Structure 1
Amino acid sequence: MRSILVSLFVTVAGTLYQLFVTAITAYPLIKHDLPGRSAIFLFIIFTMFFGGGLIPYYLLIKNLGLVNSLAVMIIPAAISTYNMIVLKTFFQNIPIELEESAKMDGAGYMKIFFRIILPLSVPALATIALFIAVGQWNNWYTPMLFLNDKEIWPLAMVLRDILINNNMELTRGGSFVSEEFMLGDTIKNAVVIVSVVPIIVVYPFIQKHFVKGVMIGSIKS
């Protein structure tokens, strides 16, 4: 139960955090009057193809003091370049006349962003939120690297631990009690189902937005 609560916290907090950072990054990049807009965009795109490697990344996380902290599953994953491009494409399709009308009424960029752009971008935000939430919920790699305390392991990491321990028992050789194996196998399957249910429950509520959001950038007849 503790691991479920940890996963819920990481998923909700991480999704809201990444959505906010992604949105405030994508919106300025559609402004042609932004100084160095092309250079900034190319710099962000660069991160899709090149990374520093695992060892420098681990040293960075360690120097930031995020090892063995739930913040390591939230803060470093601030933005996905792919999600940013999707949201940027959606923002570009919003009629510029809406912003011009708001400016004539005295609205600034922040007011336009929160009062006009975000409400009109619900399909794109819902789609990206689902991508982020699924990634956060299923993330076992980050806690494997940085979380040494089992008390703060998320459900995905607990599931991985159960699966590995179960497989190790099978590969040790020798005889084993069939009832014990069945119990271990039952627990393994039960945890898998528990880990899948939350995403299945959430999906119907955003399905109508998701269907529209995944069509962003597609050819329209």
Structure 2
Amino acid sequence: MSRQWRPIHVFGHVVLFFGGLALVYPILFMVMTGFMTAEEYAGTVIGPFPIAKDPTIENFMTLVGGAGDPLVRLYFLNSILRTAYGLVWAVLTAFLGGYVFSRLKFRGRDTLFLVLLATQMVPPVVAIIPTFIEFARWPLAGGNYIFTGGEGILDSWWVYLVGGPAINIMGTFLVKQSLEKVPFELDEAAKIDGAGTFRIIFQILMPLQFPILAFIAITTSQAIWNDWATPFFFTTSNELQTLPAAISRMSSLAQNPMGLPNYPLMITLGLGITIPMLLIFFFFQRYIVQGLANTGIKG
């Protein structure tokens, strides 16, 4: 049976087409700009679809292999290591936190949970200055002794190791919501069979939370991968930069012979930030839907 096309169907497809075009256009613009040199970019009136008169792949070679800037490979490596560490930490703390607040009973549990949720109302930008002071005055680090000041853990890998979230609050909330749907009889049956606490947690309950943990892993990796503020404000060494922060610094550091920032290179490196997250979202988007469905949250 052939489908009857009504005006509303045609209108819907037109809206979807132009909506999809609007989403794809920035990627297309970045790719086209990547074929331009810094000199051509600076001397050209950039239109909606910039076409290089003398195309070059130098920017893409720098993105892939660091041909024009060997530090690009280091930026990528730092981004990958930091994202992997934050991902593992977020998943672990979210699951254990959700287990504590959904399975264990202790005085003040609900109050403590509400206090933790309330911290999510504070904009992250508000914490930049207090965090900077905390890192700079970190005890017994960077020259911070009893009678002398120092730099603390600023401009060190401890910024990433310590500066990651101590506990993933929203992840904890989602896991708690999901675990509350699992009957306590499952825990009791496992205890009767001789399972200990750790076995119940990691071999019985944790596999049941795979969709929501996958959702937490995906969203956390996207947030950490795109984070530029932490390395930008708390580190200065090139060896500690991640790709987003390095691009921010290139606005003043990446100079060409004309004395202008190398915007085509910066835009091309932006592709290196955007494409991995697009691929992760494209291939794992079903886990986002499943994860939210398991928590009972409806959009």
Taking structure 2 as the reference length, the TM-score comes to 0.62
**Whole-angstrom distance in 2 between the partners of 1:66 and 1:198:** 30
Q: Segments of 4+ in structure 1 off by > 4 A? A: 50-53
Which protein has the bigger helix share?
1
Q: Unaligned regions of 5+ residues in structure 1, if any?
A: 170-175
Counting only pairs closer than 5 Å after superposition, residues 7-18 of structure 1 correspond to structure 2 as 7-18=79-90
Offset of 1:38 from its aligned partner?
Answer: 1.7
| RMSD, matched Cα | 2.7
Task: Please tell me whether the aligned partners of residues 90 and 171 of structure 2 are also in contact (alpha carbons under 8 angstroms).
Answer: no
Match for residue 61 of structure 1? 135
Return the match for 1:144 from 213, 217, 232. Answer: 232
Query: Is 1:91 the equivalent of 2:170?
Result: no
Task: Please tell me whether the aligned partners of residues 26 and 87 of structure 1 are also in contact (alpha carbons under 8 angstroms).
Answer: yes
Offset of 1:127 from its aligned partner?
Answer: 0.4
Match for residue 248 of structure 2? 160
Match for residue 162 of structure 2? 75
Structure 2 CA distance for partners of 1:208 and 1:54, relative to 1, 3 Å: closer
The structure with the larger Rg is 2
Q: Which piece of structure 1 moves more, 23-32 or 120-129?
A: 23-32
Task: Please tell me whether the aligned partners of residues 10 and 70 of structure 1 are also in contact (alpha carbons under 8 angstroms).
Answer: no
Return the match for 1:5 from 77, 86, 90. Answer: 77
Return the match for 1:119 from 195, 198, 207. Answer: 207
Taking CA–CA contacts closer than 8 Å with sequence separation of 6 or more, which of the two structures ends up with the larger relative contact order? 1
Letter of the 1:66 partner, please give it: I
Letter of the 2:135 partner, please give it: I
Match for residue 23 of structure 1? 95
Taking structure 1 as the reference length, the TM-score comes to 0.82
Return the match for 1:200 from 250, 269, 278. Answer: 278
Query: Is 1:44 the equivalent of 2:116?
Result: yes
Query: Is 1:132 the equivalent of 2:220?
Result: yes
Q: Determine what percentage of the aligned residue pairs are the same residue.
A: 25
Q: Render the CA deviation track for 1:168-197: whole Å, top value 9, x for unaligned.
A: 99xxxxxx96xx97x933212211111112
Task: Please tell me whether the aligned partners of residues 175 and 212 of structure 2 are also in contact (alpha carbons under 8 angstroms).
Answer: yes
Q: Which piece of structure 1 moves more, 76-85 or 199-208?
A: 199-208
**Whole-angstrom distance in 2 between the partners of 1:128 and 1:54:** 24
Task: Please tell me whether the aligned partners of residues 28 and 34 of structure 1 are also in contact (alpha carbons under 8 angstroms).
Answer: no
Offset of 1:83 from its aligned partner?
Answer: 1.9
Offset of 1:103 from its aligned partner?
Answer: 1.6
